[in-house]
Amino acid sequence: MSDRVAIAVRGDVDAHTAPQLHAVIQTTLEDCSVIELDMGELGFLDSSGLSVIAGAANDLAPLGGRLLIRQPTPSLLSLLEIADMARFVDIVDQLA
């Protein structure tokens, strides 16, 4: 079992692509306690993507795990704050 898995998220995460991100996250839940989503190359994220992030944080919490959001874009940071999710994920390496 790995302690941490990093997933690079590139492009748009919307109703069409969110299920793919969800599937990747679900496969890692059995193997690690920390999932790191590198959002440095994120183009757009809608409510479908936000739901995937919330679900991952929810799934990790009972296992004592954590969800890290690395290099979030300013718009993603704003969305996380508006949705009151910033307290459920660890945000690291913010983009300027």
Alpha-carbon separation of residue 5 from 8, 27, 29, 34 (angstroms): 10, 11, 9, 6
Q: Which backbone phi and psi does 6 adopt, to 5 degrees? A: -105, 135
Cα-based angle 88, 21, 29 (whole degrees, multiple of 5): 60
State how beta strands 90-92 and 4-13 pair. unpaired
Quote the DSSP letter at residue 62.
G
pLDDT value at position 63? Answer: 84
Measured from the Cβ of residue 92, the count of other Cβ atoms closer than 10 Å reads 12
One CATH from 3.40.50.300, 3.40.50.1970, 3.30.750.24, 3.40.630.30 for 4-92: 3.30.750.24
Map out the domains of the chain as residue ranges: 4-92
Residues in the chain predicted with pLDDT less than 70, given as ranges, are 1-2, 94-96
